Chain A
Amino acid sequence: MTPQANSSPADIALLPDAGPLITLAYADALDLLFKPGWTVILVDMVLHEVTRQKTPTSKKLAKWATTKRVQVMPTRTFTRFKELSAAGSTPAKNNLGELAIQEAMNEMAIASPPRSGVFLFEDHKIARASFLLPDNSRKVSTRAYLWFLQDKGWIESATEVERKAIAAGRQFSQVRFPPGA
């Protein structure tokens, strides 16, 4: 579904998955999410995923979400996760963020009127094609988003943002490679 001609940028919701948040955090570029003027929304489970452990970016992401007053979308997935955790159960965590995002997509599709959403993922998650994408939603990679910003003249170089993230990642990961060694 094409957004209504008279819709404003704020009517578009931009929902980043954990991967793009982490990449942009390493590149010190989280504010790029605000450039198009869309409403940035964090799915609760995703926010939990990127802040639950002490990592090089967890504090930065939590602080950014708070200081920028980013909207957080509640999901049944996260509620259930919390219930199970409180009951002493250890639910598998690997794909709960994705499940919560799928839930958010569905919620937006059946809202009245349906809301247009841009869901931001890393390339490998888009390639997996496990999402059932409602008509009013778009699934976009971090790289595509950065190209878009570059085309608009909002950033000088998409490649530079990616490069900065990787360079910062290498700096932080030296004590952690290889796993299990």
Chain B
Amino acid sequence: MANTVNFTGSVDRDLLKRAKVIAAKTDSSINALFNAELRYLVETFEAAENGGNQNFRALLDFSLGRKDALETMRVLGIDSDEDIFLLMAQARLPMPRLSDAETREMVEQLNTLPTA
């Protein structure tokens, strides 16, 4: 019997909607997808740490908004925005993002401007 526990969390509404589509398309479940991704993250983190490589940790800190891009680039020994974008993509970590409310506020600012 699998040793599983239930827990409560929250997730971005649009992300959950997209995950449900993937679950349906792959004849899977949100639960299975969540477990697979969490396992990937934990195992990648642990493998890097066991190998004495702090790069994944640095990228995760950046993804979670705990370290800024300049500090992350310094730790990783890179000096371009493109490198950090590529590394995040390859590490399968999302770029840090502002809340939907903050993003919507910026959209409203753009709406005040004349357009073609």
Contacts and interface: CB of A to CB of B under 8 A. Distances in A.
Interface of A: 2-3, 7-9, 11-12, 17-19, 22-23, 26, 35-38, 49-50, 53, 55-58, 93-95, 97, 116, 118, 122-128, 138-141, 143-145, 147-148, 151-152, 159, 166, 169-170, 172-174, 176-181
Given A127-B65, A173-B86, A178-B48, A93 B79 contact: yes
For the complex, would chain B's binding face be called helix, strand, loop or mixed by DSSP majority? helix
Contacts of A145: 110
A127 B48 contact: no
Contact of A123 (B77, B78, B98): B98
B53 interface: yes
Contact of B115 (A37, A56, A138): A37
Contacts of A148: 107, 110-111
Given A140-B110, A166-B89, A22 B82 contact: yes
B73 interface: yes
B110 A169 contact: no
Interface residues of B, number: 45
B43 interface: no
Interface of B: 14, 18, 48, 53, 55-56, 62, 65, 68-70, 73-74, 76-83, 85-92, 95-98, 103-104, 106-107, 109-116
Contacts of A22: 81-82, 85
A173 B77 CA distance: 16
B15 to A, nearest CB: 10
Nearest to A130: B68
Nearest to A174: B90
A122 B95 contact: yes
Contacts of B85: 19, 22-23, 26, 169
A77 to B, nearest CB: 16
Nearest to B88: A169
Contact of B97 (A58, A123, A128, A181): A123
B82 to A, nearest CB: 5
A58 B104 CA distance: 31
A125 B62 CA distance: 11
Nearest to B15: A159
